[in-house]
Amino acid sequence: MQPPLLFAFPVSRATTDPKLPPFYPTFSLPLPLGFTNSLTLDLLCFCRSNRSVVFVSIGLLLQVIYSSAPSDKNYTRPYVVNIGALFTFNSTIGRVAKVAIDAAIDDVNNDSGVLRGTKLVVQVQDTSCNGFIGIAEALQFMERDIVAIIGPQSSVLAHVISHVANELKVPLLAFAATDPTLSSLEYPYFVRTTQSDLFQMAAIAELVDYYQWRQAIAIFIDDDYGRNGIDSLNDKLAERQCTISYKAAMRPGATKSDITGLLAKVASMESRIIVLHANPDSGVMVFSVAKFLGMMSQGYVWIATDWLSSFLDSTPYAEPSITDTMQGVLALRQHTPNSKRKSALLSKWKSFRLNSYALYAYDAVWTIAYALDSFFSSGGNVSFSNDPNLHDADGGNLHLEAMSVFNGGQFLLDQIHNVDFVGVTGPIHFDSQGYLIHPAYDILNIIGTGLRTVGYWSNYSGLSVSSPELLYMKPPNRSAANEELHTVIWPGETATKPRGWVFPNNGKELRIGVPNRVSYREFISEAPGSDVVKGYCVDVFVAAISLLPYPVLYKFIPFGDGRDNPNYTDLVAKVVSGELDAAIGDIAIVTNRTRIVDFTQPYIESGLVVLAPVKRLNSNAWAFLQPFTVRMWCITGLFLLVVGSVIWILEHRINDEFRGPPKKQLITIFWFSFSTLFFSHKENTVSTLGRAVLIIWLFVVLIIQSSYTANLTSLLTMQQLTSPIKGLDSLISSDEPIGFQVGSFTEYYLVEDLGISRSRLKAFNTPEEYAMALELGPNNGGVAAVVDERPYIKLFLSTHCKFAIVGSEFTKSGWGFAFPRDSPLAVDLSTAILTLSENGDLQRIHDKWLTRTSCSSQSTDIESNRLHLSSFLGLFLICGVACVLAILIYFLTVLRKFLKHVPVENADSSSRGSSQSVRSLQSFLSFVNSMEEVNNRSKGKQTQEGSRNGTDIES
């Protein structure tokens, strides 16, 4: 905005006091566009040098001035608007950012569709990678009527300058400050015209999860940029159940010696996934030292943030010695879609090799240009005023009052947030949180001297080998099944995905907790008088460890006092607290334990069963009834009578064998019914329906007879055991005491899950205590049953033949080795246990420790062998349906014949009312009971015979 033109006119001394100096009354007029301050000075000099002139024709002067002014219908637009640019000239980003900003200024000023007569001028300051200098230069900008600042480049500097911008209402358009904590809520005048590291860290977290790694080490610069970026990475990893196992912070300006010590410590860690979040100078040095220390070899994974791609993209010809230290590294680059405008810009300035940050700097200039154009079109005015909050302290010489507040700052900020155009980096539009829309990154693999794109990440669709622009045209799909990347060549020139961790080679032994059992010592125990731990579980662990492709140092630490079995929940708790690195043994994998530790693959199946005393079931006079239950016997007998009755009804009119006096017919029904049970019936069936029902019934009888014979044979030839406890349900419903093993999770399960009163439970240590309590029984101070895990009970039953498992196993679990959460060793040991199972070693270890032969010939599981109705319900249902359908068809057939013949005989009847109904029913019953011949007699004879038989009913 140009200053107004000042007019001064001398006044005659006659009208003033002669002792006073000459008085020059003044007034001001605004200069039109196109006039400079020099014109104002020339006019003032003209007025002062002609003191004899008392009056000047104002109209003539203004006519001269405005007639020579440039024509512009919008007089609110200034001729020049000043913006600032703040970055480090001699840096990877700064060198190309300066080129991009200058190119953008030229393109904006040469475009008549933007700013329309207003010239955009940029004033550039070099921060020299120094925070203090950057702050001082930013304050100098505030003295020059700057309406916006492109920058700062540094996130550290952005935190400080944003406070100044908030006070003086000058928007900051940061093209390289990616710190996620630079929030528009805290710093409203901070506008990030690039992507936040929040999205870059989300991409890295998704990359780690894609390859099924669970831990990573972060190496970063210990400043706002580094710390806050890694904190965001930690949050994003936590969302995917991953974690940063170690944070290796480098001080800004770290020396090679500092980095060597840091990487030596990183090399001693177990994780081999390393995320490097640094600046180009320190990052390149890290790779050089890592190469020297052998940390760029097979097994390592290096993921570099976008500083590395920016460095390589801006380096014309990277020295082979530099790229040789980065082979196999994965790097991220801010994704900018290909376009004609981008290609033209890169081609024009190809000698400078513009990186993605330079492209965002170029678009930042266009962003402020479009915002200013909208600002002026909406009546915005560039004016400044003093800030009453700024003044020097007593004796101070900072001249803070020289800095002024941009009066239109808020309005311009609103226009910046509302810009919407397509730049060289893609669509430029801000969402409600101040982020650029469509954040996306290229995933690069450094091979040889170049960068190879192996995929893309976008906030819209996750990891993909398709460019984000293609996926934006489809519905969003973040399913893990759709994620895909091209093959990566990892450090060590291998395409095989690294495991991601190794056992740390720092001489540290794993402290393995083992329960010191006093019973069932075959599973695991400490040998008396020595430090040797042995047993089935120990052999499985040692065999699994020997299959790992790397050495593991460990020592066993017994847990327990040697007098009672230890509490396994307490043992697992020591793993959680860090007192132990792992716990092995007969540790059941149950819900409350899996919430706090990770278990390996189960190496033996387990589950709770009920152990009870049993006795032999001796045969008696009624043993033949035992194959069927009472209900089964009743239903079978009922169906015998039903089928017999149905056959009699279907055969009565046409079969002489089913006719005769009532007594004979009743005997026939009973005889026929029960004789079919043995296939000894002599009566022939004539009707089609009768034969169909009989065939189905004989099939049912065949199945019932075969099942009865087989079950009776089993009952009479095999030894049977019985127990008053039939299973878990009968145990819960009773009020008798129950035994359990000390230290087992059984007590918690019975009380908390099954609701059994704790007063009913009795704890035992040894198998001998089991046997004694079961033999005494609940009435003599013992227990009715013992609830324990199947492996213990099976070992117990190998030497105690008076007891047996009753009912079925009512929980399903297994035994595993416990490790801290997210321990890679748990995963590798699980694979080793599966290998032991497949090659038979697991079974051989089981046979070595747990096989006994004393009671092996005796069945130990008590189950009911009686056949229930439910086993034959389908057969009875089929037979019943067949009987009903046959009776229904037979009834309809007879009714049709009755209506066809009988009404002719009763046509002359004059009776009415109930007597007629009774006679009709009697006639129908007589017709049903009449004999229907099936030979080839004439119809007339059949009708005559039917009438004769109808008058001579045998009752």
Is 175 within 8 Å of 155 (Cβ atoms)? Answer: no
Per-residue pLDDT, 791: 93
Cα distance between residue 518 and residue 503, in whole Å:
33
Whole-Å CA distances, 893 to 887, 889, 928: 10, 6, 11
Q: Which helix (H) or strand (E) holds 572?
A: helix 568-577
Q: How confident is the model at residue 932 (pLDDT cuts 50, 70, 90)?
A: low
pTM score above 0.85: no
Residue predicted with more confidence, 946 or 742: 742
Q: Which of 430, 409, 408, 432 is nearest to 418 (CA)?
A: 430
Angle, vertex CA 102, rays to CA 100 and CA 105, nearest 5: 110
Angle, vertex CA 570, rays to CA 569 and CA 572, nearest 5: 65
Cα distance between residue 542 and residue 835, in whole Å:
13
Residue 386 clears pLDDT 80, i.e. is over it: yes
Residue 67 clears pLDDT 70, i.e. is over it: no
Cα distance between residue 244 and residue 216, in whole Å:
5
Cα distance between residue 484 and residue 907, in whole Å:
91
Helix, coil or strand: residue 729: helix
Cα distance between residue 240 and residue 212, in whole Å:
10
Roughly how many angstroms between the first and final C-alpha of the chain, as a whole number?
A: 131
Q: Residue 859 has which token pair?
A: 């069945």
Q: How confident is the model at residue 691 (pLDDT cuts 50, 70, 90)?
A: confident
Cα distance between residue 242 and residue 363, in whole Å:
36
The mean pLDDT of 917-937, rounded to a whole number, is: 61
Q: Which helix (H) or strand (E) holds 882?
A: helix 873-905
Cα distance between residue 745 and residue 588, in whole Å:
8
Q: Residue 659 has which token pair?
A: 């006719």
How far from the centroid of its chain's Cα atoms is residue 795's Cα?
A: 42
The mean pLDDT of 663-674, rounded to a whole number, is: 77
Q: Residue 121 has which token pair?
A: 């001028």
Per-residue pLDDT, 634: 87
The mean pLDDT of 880-901, rounded to a whole number, is: 78
Is 31 within 8 Å of 70 (Cβ atoms)? Answer: no
Q: Which helix (H) or strand (E) holds 471?
A: helix 468-471
Angle, vertex CA 646, rays to CA 641 and CA 652, nearest 5: 120
Strand partners, 912: none
Q: How confident is the model at residue 720 (pLDDT cuts 50, 70, 90)?
A: low
- Dihedrals phi, psi of 632, to nearest 5 degrees: -65, -40
Cα distance between residue 341 and residue 349, in whole Å:
13
The mean pLDDT of 604-623, rounded to a whole number, is: 78
Taking only the tens place, the pLDDT of each residue in 229-255 is 999 999 999 999 899 999 999 999 899
Per-residue pLDDT, 625: 72
Q: How many residues in the chain? A: 955
Q: Which of 602-606, 631-635, 695-699, 711-715 has the lowest mean pLDDT?
A: 711-715
Residue 603 clears pLDDT 60, i.e. is over it: yes
Which DSSP category does 651 fall into?
Answer: H
Angle between the N-to-C axes of helices 873-905 and 630-651, in degrees from 0 to 180, rounded to the nearest 10: 30
Residue 269 clears pLDDT 60, i.e. is over it: yes
The mean pLDDT of 892-909, rounded to a whole number, is: 64
Q: How confident is the model at residue 619 (pLDDT cuts 50, 70, 90)?
A: low
How far from the centroid of its chain's Cα atoms is residue 855's Cα?
A: 50
Strand partners, 303: 275, 330
Q: Which of 114, 197, 505, 177 is nearest to 360 (CA)?
A: 177
Q: Which of 308, 265, 311, 263 is nearest to 92 (CA)?
A: 311
Which DSSP category does 557 fall into?
Answer: E
Is 104 within 8 Å of 120 (Cβ atoms)? Answer: no
Whole-Å CA distances, 147 to 122, 176, 385, 416: 10, 20, 13, 12
Tally of CB atoms within 10 A around 719: 10
Query: Which of 185-189, 473-477, 707-711 reaches the highest mean pLDDT?
Result: 185-189
Mean pLDDT of the chain: 82
Taking only the tens place, the pLDDT of each residue in 851-888 is 876 564 444 444 445 566 676 777 778 878 878 888 88
Give the list of residues 6+ apart from residue 73 with CB closer than 8 angstroms, or none. none
Taking only the tens place, the pLDDT of each residue in 416-445 is 999 999 999 999 999 999 999 999 999 999
Cα distance between residue 683 and residue 612, in whole Å:
54
Cα distance between residue 424 and residue 414, in whole Å:
23
Per-residue pLDDT, 29: 46
Cα distance between residue 628 and residue 29, in whole Å:
119
| DSSP assignments along 273-307, one per residue | EEEEE--HHHHHHHHHHHHHTTTTSTT-EEEE-TH
Is 292 within 8 Å of 256 (Cβ atoms)? Answer: no
Q: How confident is the model at residue 671 (pLDDT cuts 50, 70, 90)?
A: confident
Q: How confident is the model at residue 942 (pLDDT cuts 50, 70, 90)?
A: very low
CA quadruple 271, 276, 282, 288: dihedral sign: positive
Q: How confident is the model at residue 294 (pLDDT cuts 50, 70, 90)?
A: very high
Q: Residue 226 has which token pair?
A: 């580094």
Residue predicted with more confidence, 397 or 803: 803
| DSSP assignments along 510-540, one per residue | EEEEEE--SS-TTTSEEPTTSS-EESHHHHH
Residue 600 clears pLDDT 60, i.e. is over it: yes
The mean pLDDT of 565-588, rounded to a whole number, is: 94
Percent of the chain residues topping a pLDDT of 70: 80
Taking only the tens place, the pLDDT of each residue in 303-361 is 999 999 999 998 866 678 888 999 999 999 999 999 999 999 999 998 889 999 999 99
Is 248 within 8 Å of 273 (Cβ atoms)? Answer: no
Cα distance between residue 719 and residue 858, in whole Å:
9
Cα distance between residue 434 and residue 171, in whole Å:
13
Q: Residue 622 has which token pair?
A: 């009624």
Is 943 within 8 Å of 930 (Cβ atoms)? Answer: no
Is 364 within 8 Å of 415 (Cβ atoms)? Answer: no
Cα distance between residue 667 and residue 515, in whole Å:
76
Per-residue pLDDT, 41: 38
Whole-Å CA distances, 697 to 140, 673, 711: 108, 10, 21
Residue 524 clears pLDDT 90, i.e. is over it: yes
Give the list of residues 6+ apart from residue 484 with CB closer than 8 angstroms, or none. 455, 463, 464, 465
Cα distance between residue 407 and residue 147, in whole Å:
10
The mean pLDDT of 681-710, rounded to a whole number, is: 80
The mean pLDDT of 620-629, rounded to a whole number, is: 70
Q: Which helix (H) or strand (E) holds 172?
A: strand 172-174
Token pair 């819960």 in the structure block, residue: 732
Taking only the tens place, the pLDDT of each residue in 115-151 is 988 999 999 999 887 778 878 887 777 777 899 999 9
The mean pLDDT of 214-232, rounded to a whole number, is: 95
Q: Residue 132 has which token pair?
A: 């203090």
User: What 3 state SS string does 731-747 have?
Assistant: HHHCCCCEEEECCCCHH
Cα distance between residue 68 and residue 62, in whole Å:
10
Q: Which of 564, 576, 608 is nearest to 590 (CA)?
A: 608
The mean pLDDT of 944-950, rounded to a whole number, is: 42
Per-residue pLDDT, 727: 80
Amino acid (1-letter code) at residue 256: K
Residue 278 clears pLDDT 60, i.e. is over it: yes
Is 838 within 8 Å of 826 (Cβ atoms)? Answer: no
Residue predicted with more confidence, 925 or 63: 925
Cα distance between residue 953 and residue 673, in whole Å:
26
Percent of the chain residues topping a pLDDT of 90: 49
The mean pLDDT of 141-164, rounded to a whole number, is: 88
Per-residue pLDDT, 26: 42
Residue 684 clears pLDDT 90, i.e. is over it: no
